[in-house]
Amino acid sequence: MRMTSFLIGLFLATGAMAQDWQAVERVEPYSVQGTTGLEIYRSIGERGPKLGVARVIAHTGFKLTWTREYERQGNACVITVNKPKLIITYTLPQLKTKLSEPLKSRWDTFIAGVTAHEKIHGDFIKDMVKEIEAMSVGMRVEDDPACKKIRPALQARLGELSQAQRARSRDFDKVEMSEGGNVHQLILQFVDPR
């Protein structure tokens, strides 16, 4: 019984250490208006967040900073602490026009679906941060007593994880926005329900 309690306590303590940070998630709305689905969708096209040269319905961005501690161990350098501070910002349309039924229900379904889509992008970002944390704490570079070689080695690995997260997001969008995909269906059902 005592051993079981000890193991449960150890498991809970380990889990708490792995989860000792939380992402801050916030919504940055932009205003749209219209009295029909098509008018509102056009307003989104005119006012939505800009990605490259095009405007999009919604966007998920993030700011990530780290508190790191490097320690010399013999002739090596080791990362002993790598704690993230992650702020995720969801840019979403906010309707300024009061709607009546059935358009109101269609808008509610549309914005709930778009928000859910963006939250998945947020989950991908959180997954990437967890991967960075897992691979970096305890990272060791030999023959680096001044802890200068470890930083470029870490940056190279961070670049790989960042590229993987971007590819995952692109692949997700490709499926969701393709003909028949979830976001494509949300747009069609909002603008032109049949």
Tokens 């914005």: give the residue. Answer: 111
15 found inside a domain: no
Structural domain range at position 133 = 21-191
- Helices (H) and strands (E) counted in the chain, each on its own, are 5, 6
13 found inside a domain: no
DSSP-assigned letters across all residues of 128-175: HHHHHHHHHTT-EESS-TTS-SHHHHHHHHHHHHHHHHHHHHHHHHHH
Higher confidence at residue 15 or residue 31?
31
48 found inside a domain: yes
161 found inside a domain: yes
The pLDDT value recorded for residue 64 is 94
pLDDT (tens digit, 9 = 90+) per residue, 157-166?
999 999 999 9
89 found inside a domain: yes
* Tally of structural domains, the chain: 1
pLDDT (tens digit, 9 = 90+) per residue, 19-72?
578 999 999 999 999 999 999 999 999 999 998 888 999 999 999 999 999 999
3 found inside a domain: no
The pLDDT value recorded for residue 192 is 80
Q: Is the pLDDT of residue 16 over 90?
A: no
Record the pTM: 0.83
12 found inside a domain: no
